[in-house]
Structure 1
Amino acid sequence: MLLATRSEGKLRELRPMFTAVGIDVIDLRAATIHESPHEGDLENALTFEENALAKARYFHRISGLPAVADDSGLEVAALGGAPGVHSKRWSSRTDLSGQALDDENNALLLRRLERASDRRARYVCAAAYCDGATELVERGESAGVITRAPRGTGGFGYDPYFESTELGRTFGEVPMEEKARVSHRARAFAKLLQRLTPRR
């Protein structure tokens, strides 16, 4: 099964979940699927579910393999749900990627929340599967608040600023295994894997 993400952080988080249920996965690099300019057009929908399914369909079509993909992001109450589906590209810095892009997005988040007393937020993930005959989509969420300063060096994206309600610490402060117990992505993929496992 093709794990259709170019994010090393997501691969680290997801690979053990598939291994645990006996599903062999291959990532895009190992499948020698090179990045295409068309991939940027796959996240233009208004919902996480539509974006995730568009990616799963696309990578199934070009690889011929059953494909799983996700779309995820941060929804902040005081910002009317922003950045939402635009979380990764929120700062509009198309010249940046990786940690540099994360830093710009986090700086924008802090500026927008500078005077906000309500710092409630939630991470949302939609996980999708496509094999040409079957399409499945599941959603997971994780509640928290946005901190005023980063805490921890783990995770990626907004993790050092997202304090999990359940853990009482940011996703940047906790080990991957602890984050996986409550993360939006782990919850979405756990639901998806429950539906996929009987199919094998």
Structure 2
Amino acid sequence: MSRQIVLASGNQGKLKEFNMVLADLGVEVLPQSQFNVPDADETGLSFVENAIIKARHACQLTGLPALADDSGLEVDALNGAPGIYSARFAGPDATDADNNQKLLDMLAGTSPEERSARFRCLLVFMRHAADPTPLICQGSWEGKILPLPQGDHGFGYDPLFLVPGLDIASAQLPAEQKNKISHRGQAVQQLLKMIPAYL
């Protein structure tokens, strides 16, 4: 009998990743869309605030434990932007390609040395909407922003993120390798260590 957790996201890429890593714990991760849960208003000013808002919203509307992930890209030359606005950087209905293009436009003329960036991931697991001690895990992944997109794996800013030491874009990594070293991979490893006590 698998335990069901609702993922406070409609992102198919994230859903697939979480189901892959949590399968061994007998956990089935379901998208909030399956319960007709609308996206929460992300009114927080940090990744952790937004993740808590999303998890609590999904718990309230489904009655199930919820997992929320708020993650994004921080570019040093842009004072940490797009940050919490990563998914809607180029506007509310922006596609990944729109967001990537806006980032490239804003970094036009920036030298390779000035293109340092990192992906951040904050994961929050709440047992119920009134959970006073949600489980909070985080990871960060340092890299640089490439001048042109490369590769066709992954999603979001993966085609522009140069992986340190490997000299390829995150979008050129096989999913298994990416899941081991990425910001989300790091946060998920913490989650895997800590979540059994919460289940």
Give the structure-2-normalised TM-score. Answer: 0.90
Amino acid at match of 1:102: D
Deviation of 1:189 after TM superposition, in Å, equals: 2.0
Aligned residues: 190
Q: How has the CA–CA distance of structure 1 residues 130 and 166 changed in structure 2, closer, same or farther, with 3 Å as cutoff?
A: farther
Query: Which position in structure 1 is the counterpart of 2:82?
Result: 83
Say what the alpha-carbon RMSD is for the aligned residues: 1.5
Give the partner amino acid of 1:131: R
Distance 2:9 2:32 in 1: 7
2:55, 2:126 within 8 Å by CA — same for their partners in 1?
A: yes
**1:6 is matched by which residue type in structure 2?**
G
CA offset at residue 107 of structure 1? 0.6
Give the Å deviation of 1:11. Answer: 1.3
Correspondence 1:107 to 2:101: yes
| Residue 127 (structure 2) pairs with residue 131 (structure 1) | yes
User: Which residue in the other structure is 2:24 paired with?
Assistant: 20
Instruction: Measure, in 2, the Cα distance between the counterparts of 1:163 and 1:122.
Output: 10
- State percent identity of aligned pairs: 38
1:9 aligns with 2:13: yes
- The CA deviation at 1:136 is 1.4
1:152 corresponds to 2:151: yes
Given that 1:72 and 1:126 are in contact with CA atoms closer than 8 Å, whether structure 2 keeps it comes out as yes
1:124, 1:141 within 8 Å by CA — same for their partners in 2?
Answer: yes
Structure-1 residue corresponding to 2:175: 176
Asked if the contact 2:120–2:183 (Cα under 8 Å) also holds between the matched residues in 1, the reply is yes
Residue of structure 2 equivalent to 1:33: 35
Q: Secondary structure, in 3 states, of the residue corresponding to 2:50?
A: helix
Equivalent-residue separation in structure 2 for 1:23 and 1:179 (angstroms): 22
Q: Give the 4+ runs in structure 1 shifted more than 3 A.
A: none
Q: Give 2:163's aligned residue.
A: 164
User: How far did residue 166 of structure 1 move?
Assistant: 4.4
SS in 2 for 1:25: strand
Please give the alpha-carbon distance, in whole angstroms, between the structure 2 residues aligned to 1:18 and 1:198: 14
CA contact (8 A) 1:166 1:182 kept: no
